[in-house]
Structure 1
Amino acid sequence: MRIQIFAVPGDEDFSRQYSLARRGVKPDPLKKLSEESLPQSIGWLVNSYFEYLEERVKAGTTSAKTLKKKRNLLNRLLHDPDKRMQIPQEKLIEMQDKMGSTPAQADAFIEAVAVLYDWAIERKRVKENPARGIKSIYKKGDGAAPWKAADVKAFFAKHKPGTKPHVAMSVLLWTGCRIEDLTVLGRRFECVIDEVEALR
């Protein structure tokens, strides 16, 4: 007897469906979060947007980092997922105010909400974008002071070869990588270019 399953190897629900089919039980397809959400609720809207981004990540047109960032910011809207999807602007300003200790994060949250509603307007799910027109609260400072050669020499004098700080600074200096990439760079990225060993 053939039993249809609704997932392929690699899908999050594949193991559950495959196990049921092996036992002769026809599995129900795993519902999307938007399908389990109250229609026209903020939970329905946000989860629909996440599912749209997930499809774009699979297609290679959106970065997985972008999806992760959007999740981190927009999950704040899911604390009460059954609320109506059209959030009053004053409620968003109140949420922004509560994040006042991290103003850059607060502004990033408002911008993510604005992009969410722009997406929803294009698809005729809402008519207005309550996040547009909210003023930024982040005030740009002078930024970090750039290091000079003397600073680097002093750092290496304190942190000897083989120590983690020495390795980290060396990789940053000689690869120009971003700080988040520093945590994953390793020997598997080494390659030889024109008979010179390098990181790829």
Structure 2
Amino acid sequence: MHPNGVHPPETMTKLNLPYIERNVSRHHKVRYYYRFEGKRIARLPDNPESPEFTTEYWRIRNGINDGTGAQRVFSASDNPRLGTFHHLCINYLQSTSFKTLDKTTQAKRRAIIDSMLLEKLSPNSSLIFANMPASELDVSNIEVLRDRKKDTPFAADERLKILRQIFEAGIPKLVKQNHAKLVKSFRKKTEGHATLHSDDIAKYITKHGVKSKAVLALTILMYTGVRVSDLALLGPRHRRGDIISLRVFKNRNRNPVVLDLPVHPILDAVLNMHPADTETYVTTDHGKPFSIKGLGNRISDWFTQAGLPHLTAHSVRKGLATNIAENEATDLMLEGMFGWKDSKTSKIYTRSAQRSKLARQAVSKIDWGSLDSVLPHPNSGEEFRDKNKGK
């Protein structure tokens, strides 16, 4: 390194410099980040052998070394300059609306807020949004923050969603109105996740084998309707006879829901093919529980391996809701099984009391069609022969 800490912007042939984090997504896209004191400071250019990568790396590193760079991470413990966007963000992080979120959601939002604070006002500017007066953060500037993520529309909309909440928390003390509500979402409205169908199930099971972890995960989703966040935690400890009882992960701190789901005979048959002494039903190759994100990615990979790349864990939940609705399950049955709540307070207590009974009625409506050739059926009278080696 040069004596004054400045490194010439020459092309690197090897990533032998400190503070670089290499991250590979489940779609095999490689990203590089500058990581300092346990936190991602900024994303680096995609090509590590380009002059732009080297220049950006040393710009960030030198800025941290001399304390004048814009590459510091902002958090709720900082003392922001009053009246700035940074001040507005800290106000939100200290608000009740933020503190009532679960820890996972809080961490994700902090990371998104950090990234917005560190955004430059323009590509060639040395100024960052953190120090912009909140009064100047108008519609055009909010659109800039949104559009910096235009290549990933979901991320763009997440920024906008959080900005709306940041502004809302600042009214009327720090800002007069919520400019973020005047900015349109980047993405167009879609029907969301694809829906699982019975022919998809047959294709998936044929690929992986009925005794595989892949099919175990699918079967639990097919006959309980739980989210992947619940599947990652669900295990033998949640079963009481023919009932699976669990506290739903989503909104568990703000508005908890407990589900009592009867075990469908086909689900029971598949569960009996696997050990009952594990912490969770679906485990990693090392016998450990999956993280929520890790399990979601693994299920997506299993679908891709079966030639169904458009499907996800949520596709199963969506498919199940469609399935039992088409088989004449009532709205109350759906609410009892999936834990959905009606907004009318007068019905909450009645529906809570009926939820277990309604869930049992809903499970009786599950009919994925003729799956006798790919899934065991306890009433078939025949031993199921797995044509595929369990994975």
TM-score norm. by structure 1 comes to 0.66
Q: CA deviation at 1:113?
A: 0.8
Residues of 2 paired with 1:159 and 1:147: CA distance? 17
Residues of 1 paired with 2:184 and 2:166: CA distance? 17
Residue identity in the other structure for 1:158: K
Question: 2:323 maps to which residue?
Answer: none
Identify the match of residue 170 of structure 2 among 113, 120, 142. 120
Q: Looking at CA atoms only, which structure, 1 or 2, has the larger radius of gyration?
A: 2
Aligned length: 161
Question: 2:142 maps to which residue?
Answer: 92
Q: Give the structure with the higher percent helix.
A: 1
In structure 1, the gaps of 5 or more residues are 1-31
Question: 1:49 maps to which residue?
Answer: 92
Q: Superposed, which structure 2 residues align to 1:148-187 within 5 Å? A: 148-187=197-236
Residue identity in the other structure for 2:168: D
Q: CA deviation at 1:52?
A: 1.6
Residues of 2 paired with 1:163 and 1:169: CA distance? 10
Change (3 A) 1:34 1:82: farther
Change (3 A) 1:143 1:116: closer
Residue identity in the other structure for 1:75: D
Residues of 1 paired with 2:146 and 2:179: CA distance? 13
Question: 1:18 maps to which residue?
Answer: none
Residue identity in the other structure for 2:109: K
TM-score norm. by structure 2 comes to 0.37
Percentage of matched positions with identical amino acids: 24
Is the 2:98–2:106 contact (alpha carbons within 8 Å) kept by the matching residues of 1?
no
Q: Superposed, which structure 2 residues align to 1:104-115 within 5 Å? A: 104-115=154-165
Say yes or no: does 1:101 pair with 2:151.
yes
Identify the match of residue 239 of structure 2 among 177, 191, 194. 191
Change (3 A) 1:141 1:48: closer
In structure 2, the gaps of 5 or more residues are 1-74, 119-127, 247-391
Question: 1:70 maps to which residue?
Answer: 109
Residues of 2 paired with 1:191 and 1:112: CA distance? 38
Change (3 A) 1:142 1:197: closer
Q: CA deviation at 1:128?
A: 3.0
